[in-house]
């Protein structure tokens, strides 16, 4: 394993790689530590520091000579070797700035501490005190701050300043242990500023001649054009590039070919309106973005959290900074975006634009590889597919050792849907893949794309750079429309969009779909549409056009409606086949079998969908693979699943309750289609369902509600299917089937109404018991992805027995979410967490206030062992208590501390308590004890309240009437309890 260039020891070895005489001399000055193999602890003594502060300054001179030749050496170097040389040069100027400042400041001090001949003998005999070891080891082997995609040059100057302060403190601590006179007036802040100043000067000098330093410093020329990240290629193209190997050139050609393909790779008939789809090269507009680093307080799936992250406008420069930084090969970059935001298109452009002389890029569409395979196997599969088995990963790795390899893993959300294993650690596996490749001497950068809403379903390693693609602004929308109109002068798209249309147009995919709808000559009325309405109109229009084309004659009226509906059924059968199997594609054989089982007319699955514009027909694939279909974008399939669910549901409800003679709902078709996976695994599907239901006639919606209540009340008594018995997208599993079906019924019912009252389903029962049984069924029958999706979507209130479908994008601890959905009291869980982690850390989530309140109550009850807060500091955490269980705990806390706190705090706590009904555990004795400690407390409380919440007036009257002498001893005893004793007891209990 090569020592990283980001450490000083590794940097010096790289600088001396082609000048052994230089490296040997420097190694001698540094006491032999640079070329030592497996250095033992005694090697890391303070003698290794003296090479920097010797009176002749020879080490500094040697380093300056090497840095002066960096530019010349870089012109003869390319790829990975150049990357490492650039990083080594940066590391060296940081350390040089530190040591030169240290020598200038404390040269006389180091002369006093110089090693004597006697001490050298002690060193040779291994008798030297080792308290200098941590300092020297740190200076030679610790990583130094370096710019990256998430840390610009000015931010790195500040990081160098912080780093220098920490190193100086280590040095000062060591020197304090020697028998020398240490100056007392040395300022760490001044020293750090001087180090940062030297670093800045040397850095900007190198930036004049080294392109990577210029990129890191944000001084690269900014571009006002939108040319498909072409500037990224120029920023990362280095002079003096070496020869490109055959496989690299072949892979580069494959990647660059994507730029010339139409943005929608449809057949020549296209959508049926003679539209010309612009090429990727023409239509791609570099998006704006938000950039952050993953950490304990980041909420990457929460749209509201992202709004506080600054918006950036130069993605080219940010990506160039990232790829030229050592951080790129140490942890993955995550690219997030909404459905249709352009994540996949971005990876295609990146693969084409990264210069082939420096980077070897492999794009891996995760929907096309085994979701359960290891990372390297997924990369190999993608390489084989793209090159028709002509490029193999091990051979490519051997031929590209002088480049930085880049792997673009596109579609983490699709992989999570397709996997049959728990892949919550997928990003951690990616990081380990990078570590293993680096150990083998083949560093690899990795970018992973995902939908924003599902990123919380995986664990994101700390400090990963995360980009969230922003929506188009008005200027980008206008630019996109201009490009479309240049390619389609006969089908111009208007730039005069209504506000609802403009909101949809902010996503590139929806802008394309909206354009197809508005420029279609058959679109006579330009009505306002929702997203679901837009997909509905597009699919219906295309189905009618396709039905007429296949008939070979004009169709109209009922005949046209029936023919178009059959086309729509074929599309929805394909979408359902994918959804129910947890895949993004369906084989022709499976599709034919599904259609036969569902009674959809289709003689041959091999041709039934090939003519559809919205479907990609995978015929030209690697030998040995089966013929399959996939939709042009996942949202099309997600809409079709939602639309089919609402269509089947409405038809069933109409037959049961809309014909004048009510009857039991016949749900065979609904059960057949939607008893395999919960809708919640695809958040857009649930949004489309809500949109479709909202457009129903009020009477139809009432019939739907009635039918769903009936099915929910009786689903456990359901008999076997009488129709569609051959439809089996998954192997039979009775528990999973009932879990998925019941989950989908509850999703439909909760989505159809603002609030679903479970008493309407179980009028004769306490709803909590049956409801918890349902949740237990889901736990038993659904996989981790399905259950997590339900926890994200549904919320249950045990107070009034209601269920809501109100996903807010806020995620919490899985155990807490499950307890909340089951209607169990969460207070015990919050207290349990606080007992096991009394540090006061609260996750950034929707339930942060409850964590804080639980910790507040616990600390008030047993005392703050660190004496961090005064009791009054906790009031803010208690004023908004609305949970009855929390209210009971607050009264218990008051019973414990009422006699020990100030009169002011006791009065404030009682004020909080009496603003809510008296809890069941409230008793006048607790108030009497507080009155004994604070005479007049209760009378003051009485005078300040005009009305009392239920129960309090009687309790306060009883406490005032009690004899204070009876409770004074109790008050004194409570006041004498020791905080440490309470915490010791807590430790034993937990």
Is pLDDT of 925 > 50?
yes
The β-bridge relationship of strands 615-618 and 628-631 is antiparallel
Q: Is the pLDDT of residue 223 over 50?
A: no
- Does the pLDDT of residue 800 top 60, yes or no? yes
Tokens read off for 580: 């129910």
The SS3 call for residue 983 is helix
Contacts 24+ apart (CB under 8 A), 880-887: 880/849, 881/853, 881/912, 881/916, 882/916, 883/826, 883/827, 883/850, 884/799, 884/919, 885/825, 885/826, 885/827, 886/827, 886/850, 886/853, 886/854, 886/857, 887/913, 887/916, 887/919
* Band (117; pLDDT cuts 50, 70, 90): very low
- Res. 711: pLDDT tops 80: yes
Highest-pLDDT range among 523-537, 613-627, 744-758: 744-758
Q: What is the pLDDT of residues 729-755, one digit of tens each?
A: 999 899 999 999 999 999 999 999 888
Strand order in the sheet with 586-587: 586-587, 628-631, 615-618
Burial class (CB in 10 A: 0-12, 13-18, 19+), 950: exposed
Q: What is the mean pLDDT of residues 38-49?
A: 44
Q: Does the pLDDT value for residue 266 go beyond 70? A: no
Beta-sheet strand order (sheet of 404-410)? 311-312, 289-293, 465-469, 333-337, 444-451, 404-410, 359-365
Confidence (pLDDT) at 879: 60
Of 355, 363, 342, give the one whose Cα is nearest residue 258: 363
Among the ranges 195-204, 438-447, 604-613, 681-690, which has the highest mean pLDDT value?
A: 681-690
CA distance 755 to 253: 56
Strand 333-337 versus strand 444-451 pairing type: parallel
pLDDT at 989: 46
Give the mean model confidence (pLDDT) for residues 520-544: 80
Q: Place 930 in a pLDDT band, splitting at 50, 70 and 90.
A: confident
Q: How far, rounded to the nearest angstrom, does the alpha carbon of residue 825 sit from its chain's CA centroid?
A: 29
Lowest mean pLDDT among 21-35, 106-120, 577-591, 971-985: 106-120
Angstrom CA distances, 447 to 297, 362, 444, 509, stand at: 22, 11, 10, 22
> Tens digit of pLDDT for each residue in 809-850?
445 567 667 777 887 765 555 555 555 444 444 444 445 455
Write out pLDDT tens, residues 353-394: 888 878 888 999 998 888 889 998 998 888 888 777 667 777
The string of pLDDT tens digits covering residues 158-177 is 888 888 887 777 666 655 55
Average pLDDT value over all residues in the chain: 76
pLDDT of 624 above 50: no
Q: What's residue 119's pLDDT? A: 40
Q: Please say whether the beta carbons of 496 and 283 come within 8 A.
A: no
Tell me the pLDDT band of 82, cut-offs 50, 70 and 90: confident
**Of 748 and 221, which is predicted with more confidence?**
748
pLDDT category of residue 650 using cuts at 50, 70 and 90: very high
175-184 confidence digits (pLDDT tens): 555 545 555 5
Band the pLDDT of 225: cuts 50, 70, 90.
very low
Going by pLDDT thresholds of 50, 70 and 90, the confidence category of residue 146 is confident
pLDDT at residue 599 greater than cutoff 70: yes
> Model confidence at 691, in pLDDT bands (50, 70, 90)?
very high
The residues near 8 (Cβ < 8 Å, ≥ 6 apart) are 91, 92, 95, 139, 140, 141, 144
718 or 621, which is more confident? 718
Distance, CA of 751 to CA of 691 (rounded, Å): 9
pLDDT, average across residues 287-297: 88
The percent of residues above 70 in pLDDT, for the chain, comes to 69
What is the structure's pLDDT at 55? 41
What's the whole-number mean pLDDT along residues 903-932? 80
Span 698-707, mean pLDDT? Answer: 92
CATH superfamily ID and name for 246-470: P-loop containing nucleotide triphosphate hydrolases (3.40.50.300)
**The pLDDT of residue 712:** 94
Q: Greater confidence, 617 or 735?
A: 735
Distance between CA atoms of residues 202 and 456, nearest Å: 42
Residue 200: the pLDDT is 83
Which two structure tokens, joined as six digits, stand for 625?
Answer: 């693979």
Position 51 pLDDT exceeds 80 = no
Q: What is the per-residue pLDDT across 452-508, written as a single tens digit (0 to 9) for each?
A: 888 888 889 888 999 999 999 999 999 999 999 999 998 899 888 878 788 888 889
Burial-class residue 761 by CB neighbours within 10 Å (0-12, 13-18, 19+).
buried
What is the percent of the chain where pLDDT is above 90? 20
- Assess whether pLDDT exceeds 80 at residue 532: yes
Give pLDDT, residue 693: 94
Mean pLDDT of 545-550: 78
Range 342-352 average pLDDT: 91
Instruction: Give dist(CA 107, CA 545) in Å, integer.
Output: 86
- The pTM score is 0.67
Q: Which of 749, 766, 884 is nearest to 803 (CA)?
A: 749
The angle at the Cα of 449, spanning 446 to 451, to the nearest 5 degrees, equals 160
**Token digits of residue 158:** 């500040």
Indicate where the chain has its CATH 3.40.50.300 domain(s): 246-470
**Cβ atoms < 10 Å from Cβ of 221:** 9
């Amino acid at each position: 394993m090569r020592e990283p260039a980001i450490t000083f020891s590794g940097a010096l070895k790289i600088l001396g790689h082609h000048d052994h005489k230089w490296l040997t001399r420097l190694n001698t000055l540094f006491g032999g530590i640079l070329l030592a193999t497996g250095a033992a602890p005694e090697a890391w003594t303070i003698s290794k520091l003296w090479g920097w502060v010797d009176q002749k300054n020879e080490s500094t001179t040697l380093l300056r000579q090497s840095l002066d030749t960096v530019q010349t050496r870089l012109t003869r170097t390319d790829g990975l070797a150049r990357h490492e040389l650039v990083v080594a040069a940066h590391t060296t100027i940081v350390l040089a700035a530190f040591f030169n400042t240290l020598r200038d400041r404390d040269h006389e001090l180091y002369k006093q501490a110089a090693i004597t001949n006697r001490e050298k003998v002690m060193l040779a005999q291994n008798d030297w005190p080792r308290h200098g070891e941590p300092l020297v080891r740190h200076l030679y082997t610790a990583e130094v701050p370096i710019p990256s995609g998430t840390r610009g040059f000015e931010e790195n100057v500040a990081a160098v300043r912080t780093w220098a302060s920490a190193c100086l403190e280590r040095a000062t601590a060591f020197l304090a242990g020697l028998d020398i006179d240490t100056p007392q007036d040395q300022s760490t802040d001044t020293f750090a500023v001087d180090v940062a100043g030297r670093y800045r000067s040397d850095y900007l000098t190198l930036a004049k001649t080294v392109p990577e330093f210029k990129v890191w410093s944000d001084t690269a020329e900014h571009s006002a054009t939108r040319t498909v990240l072409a500037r990224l290629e120029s920023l990362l193209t280095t002079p003096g590039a070496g020869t490109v190997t055959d496989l690299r050139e072949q892979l580069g050609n494959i990647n660059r070919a994507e730029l010339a393909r139409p943005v929608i790779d449809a057949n020549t008939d296209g959508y049926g309106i003679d539209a010309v789809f612009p090429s990727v090269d023409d239509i791609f507009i570099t998006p704006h973005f938000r950039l952050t680093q993953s950490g304990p307080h980041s909420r990457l799936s929460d749209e509201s959290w992202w709004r506080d992250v600054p918006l950036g406008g130069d993605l080219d420069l940010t990506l160039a900074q990232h790829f030229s930084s050592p951080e790129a090969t140490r942890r993955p970059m995550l690219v997030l975006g909404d459905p249709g935001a352009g994540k996949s298109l971005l990876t295609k452009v990146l693969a084409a634009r990264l210069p082939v002389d420096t980077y070897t890029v492999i794009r891996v569409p995760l929907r096309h590889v085994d979701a359960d395979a290891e990372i390297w196997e997924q990369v190999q599969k993608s390489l084989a597919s793209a090159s028709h088995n002509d490029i193999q990963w091990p051979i490519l790795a051997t031929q590209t050792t002088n480049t930085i390899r880049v792997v673009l893993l596109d579609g983490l959300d699709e992989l999570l849907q397709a996997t049959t294993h728990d892949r919550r650690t997928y990003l951690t596996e990616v990081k380990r893949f990078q570590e293993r490749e680096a150990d083998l001497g083949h560093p690899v950068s990795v970018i992973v794309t995902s939908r924003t809403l599902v990123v919380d379903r995986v664990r994101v390693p700390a400090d990963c750079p995360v980009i969230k693609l922003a929506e188009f602004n008005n200027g980008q929308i206008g630019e996109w429309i201009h490009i479309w109109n240049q390619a389609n002068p006969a089908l111009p798209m208007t730039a005069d969009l209504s506000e609802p249309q403009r909101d949809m147009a902010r996503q590139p995919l929806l802008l394309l779909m909206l354009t197809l709808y508005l420029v279609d000559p058959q679109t006579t009325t330009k009505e306002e549409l929702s997203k679901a309405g837009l997909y509905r109109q597009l699919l219906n229009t295309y189905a009618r056009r396709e039905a007429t084309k296949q008939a070979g004659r004009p169709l109209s009226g009922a005949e046209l409606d029936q023919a178009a509906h059959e086309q729509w059924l074929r599309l929805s059968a394909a979408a359902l086949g994918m959804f129910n199997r947890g895949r993004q594609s369906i084989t022709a054989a499976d599709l034919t079998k599904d259609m036969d089982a569902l009674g959809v007319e289709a003689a041959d699955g091999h041709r039934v969908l090939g003519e559809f514009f919205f479907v990609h027909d995978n015929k030209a694939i690697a030998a040995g693979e089966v013929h399959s279909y996939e939709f042009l974008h996942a949202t099309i399939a997600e809409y079709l699943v939602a639309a089919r669910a609402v269509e089947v549901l409405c038809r069933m409800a109409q037959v049961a309750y809309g014909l004048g003679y009510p009857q039991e709902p016949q749900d065979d078709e609904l059960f057949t289609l939607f008893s395999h996976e919960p809708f919640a695994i695809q958040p857009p599907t649930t949004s489309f369902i809500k949109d479709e239901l909202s457009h129903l006639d009020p009477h139809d919606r009432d019939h739907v509600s009635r039918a769903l209540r009936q099915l929910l009340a009786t689903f456990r008594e359901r008999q076997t299917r009488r129709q569609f018995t051959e439809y089996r997208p998954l192997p039979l599993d009775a528990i999973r089937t009932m879990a998925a079906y019941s989950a989908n019924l509850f999703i439909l019912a909760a989505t159809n109404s603002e609030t679903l009252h479970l008493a309407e389903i179980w009028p004769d029962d306490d709803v909590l018991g049956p409801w918890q049984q349902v949740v237990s069924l889901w736990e038993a029958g659904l996989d981790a992805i399905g259950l997590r999706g339900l926890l994200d979507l549904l919320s249950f209130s045990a107070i009034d027995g209601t269920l809501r479908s109100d996903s807010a994008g806020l995620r919490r601890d899985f155990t807490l979410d499950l307890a909340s959905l089951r209607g169990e009291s969460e207070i015990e869980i919050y207290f349990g967490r606080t007992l096991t982690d009394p540090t006061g850390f609260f996750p950034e989530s929707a339930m942060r206030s409850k964590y804080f309140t639980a910790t507040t109550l616990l600390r008030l009850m047993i005392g703050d062992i660190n004496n961090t807060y005064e009791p009054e500091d906790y009031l803010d955490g208690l004023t908004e208590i609305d949970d009855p269980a929390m209210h009971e705990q607050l009264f218990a806390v008051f019973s414990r501390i009422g006699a020990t706190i100030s009169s002011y705090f006791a009065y404030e706590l009682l004020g909080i308590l009496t603003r809510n009904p008296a809890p069941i555990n409230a008793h006048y004795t607790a108030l009497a004890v507080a009155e004994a400690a604070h005479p007049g407390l209760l009378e003051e409380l009485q005078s300040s309240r005009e009305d009392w919440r239920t129960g309090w007036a009687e309790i306060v009257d009883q406490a005032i009437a009690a004899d204070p002498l009876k409770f004074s001893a109790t008050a004194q005893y409570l006041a004498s309890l020791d905080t440490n004793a309470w915490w010791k007891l807590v430790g034993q209990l937990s």
